[in-house]
């Protein structure tokens, strides 16, 4: 299994001209500020979440209450970061299958990369009431940060060094079923790779 740093197209910015409200699949990674181990630990190849880690997990599951048009897939809370696969869908026509959800996202990304005018691409996108990927991630980061700070005050959680999360997040547009399978495996087996994970402070110091 490749480490995240070796996965192609890992980026900390949005693809210029790409409509992130378009129905499709995305892989996202959020990292705790300064890679602090605030969500738990890994023991015997198992993630042992603390109260903060359980908060992150529960708030991600509840994010669909705020954004009913999204669909959650595999995700994992690690000691100092979070990986998730999610789908943005059209509220008027929920994605009936994973493959159907990947097609429009892949098509538009290819159009943008091929140099097609952004306005022309946007005209071809049907009107929809859907959040952007940044809307979803931004709301999640904000909610979890507020809840964490509340617990610092009331339950003596580890104080923050300014922020809970790093400012940016990493995203990857899932182009096809093969990539989806690969990323699901990456999320599923992420804990087993913790000793060599680039987000592991112990590994980084070696």
- The CB-based long-range contact list for 100-104 (8 Å cut-off, 24+ gap) reads 101/23, 101/24, 101/25, 101/71, 102/24, 102/25, 102/174, 102/175, 102/176, 102/177, 102/180, 103/24, 104/22, 104/23, 104/24
Average pLDDT, the chain: 77
Ordered by start, the domain boundaries in the chain are 4-205
Higher pLDDT, 54 or 23: 54
Percent of the chain with pLDDT over 90: 47
* 37-57 pLDDT tens trace: 999 999 988 899 999 999 999
Residue 97 pLDDT > 60:
no
Higher pLDDT, 75 or 113: 75
The stretch 14-32 carries a mean pLDDT of 78
Measured CA to CA, the distance from residue 168 to residue 11 in angstroms comes to: 10
Structurally, at CATH architecture level, domain 4-205 sits in 2-Layer Sandwich (3.30)
Model confidence at 12, pLDDT cuts 50, 70, 90, reads very low
């Amino acid at each position: 299994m490749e480490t995240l740093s070796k996965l192609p197209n890992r980026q900390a910015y949005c693809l210029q001209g790409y409509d992130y409200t378009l129905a499709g699949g995305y892989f996202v990674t959020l990292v705790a500020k300064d890679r602090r181990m605030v969500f738990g630990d890994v023991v015997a190849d198992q993630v042992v979440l603390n109260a903060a880690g359980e908060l992150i997990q529960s708030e991600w599951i509840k994010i669909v209450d705020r954004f009913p048009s999204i669909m959650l897939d595999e995700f994992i809370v690690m000691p100092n970061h979070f990986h998730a696969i999610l789908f943005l869908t059209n509220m008027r026509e929920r994605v009936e299958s994973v493959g159907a959800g990947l097609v429009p996202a892949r098509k538009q990304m290819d159009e943008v990369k091929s140099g097609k005018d952004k306005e022309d691409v946007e005209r071809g996108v049907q009107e929809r009431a859907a959040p952007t990927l940044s809307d979803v991630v931004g709301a999640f980061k904000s909610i979890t940060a507020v809840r964490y700070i509340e617990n610092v005050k009331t339950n003596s959680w580890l104080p923050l060094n300014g922020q809970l999360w790093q400012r940016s997040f990493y995203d990857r547009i899932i182009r096809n079923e093969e990539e989806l399978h690969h990323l699901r495996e990456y999320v599923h087996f992420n804990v087993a790779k913790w000793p060599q994970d680039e987000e592991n402070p112990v590994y980084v110091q070696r």
